[in-house]
Amino acid sequence: MLGLQLSKRELAARTLDVTGCGRLLRATSAWQGLLTLNYHRIGDPGQSPFDRNLWSASEEDFDQQVSLLAKGFDVIGVGDLDEVLRRRRGRYVLITFDDGYRDNYSAAFPILKSHNVPATFFIATGFIDRPRAPWWDELAWMIRTTEKKSLEPNSWLTSPIEFDEPNRERAFGKLLAIYKGLGPEATDDYLEDLGDLLGTGRCPTASVGDMWMTWDMIRELRDAGMSIGGHTVNHPILANLPSDQQDWEIGECRRRLSAELRRPITAFSYPNGTRSSFNDFTRAALKQFGYSHAFTFHGGYARSGTDDNFALPRTAIETDVTLPMFRAKLTLPQMFA
- Total number of domains in the chain: 2
Rounded average pLDDT over 117-122? 98
| pLDDT greater than 60 at residue 1 | no
Query: Quick one: 29 and 146 in the same domain?
Result: no
Examine the domain organization and report whether 120 and 180 are in the same domain. Answer: no
User: Do 103 and 43 share a domain, yes or no?
Assistant: yes
Q: Are residues 320 and 287 in the same domain?
A: yes
Rounded to the nearest 10 degrees, what angle do helices 323-331 and 59-72 cross at? 30
Residue 3 above 70 pLDDT? Answer: no
Q: Say whether both 127 and 146 belong to one domain.
A: no
Name the domain boundary from 177, 207, 237.
207
> Do both 10 and 116 map to the same domain?
yes
Q: Which helix (H) or strand (E) holds 110?
A: helix 109-114
Do the Cβ atoms of 266 and 290 come closer than 8 Å? yes
Chain segment 171-221, per-residue pLDDT in tens? 999 999 999 999 999 999 999 999 999 999 999 999 999 999 999 999 999
Residue 88: give the domain boundaries. 2-131+211-336
pTM to 2 decimal places: 0.94
- Cα separation of 117 and 158, whole Å? 49
Residue 56 banded pLDDT, cuts 50, 70, 90: very high
Per mean pLDDT, which range of 144-158, 192-206, 296-310 is the poorest? 296-310
What confidence tens digit (pLDDT) does each residue in 93-108 have? 999 999 999 999 999 9
Residue 67 pLDDT greater than 80, yes or no: yes
Q: Which long-range contacts (CB under 8 A, 24 or more apart) does 24-27 make?
A: 25/331, 25/332, 26/72, 26/330, 26/331
CATH, residue 314? 3.20.20.370
Q: Rounded mean pLDDT of the chain?
A: 94
pLDDT value at position 286?
98
Residue 102 confidence (pLDDT): 98
pLDDT at 132 over 80: yes
CA distance 70 to 182: 42
Query: Which of the listed residues 207, 228, 253 is the one where a domain comes to its end?
Result: 207
- Domain edge (last residue) among 172, 207, 242: 207
Instruction: Check whether residue 181 and residue 54 sit in a common domain.
Output: no
Question: Same structural domain for residues 120 and 139?
Answer: no
Give the rounded percent of residues in the chain with a pLDDT score beyond 70: 98
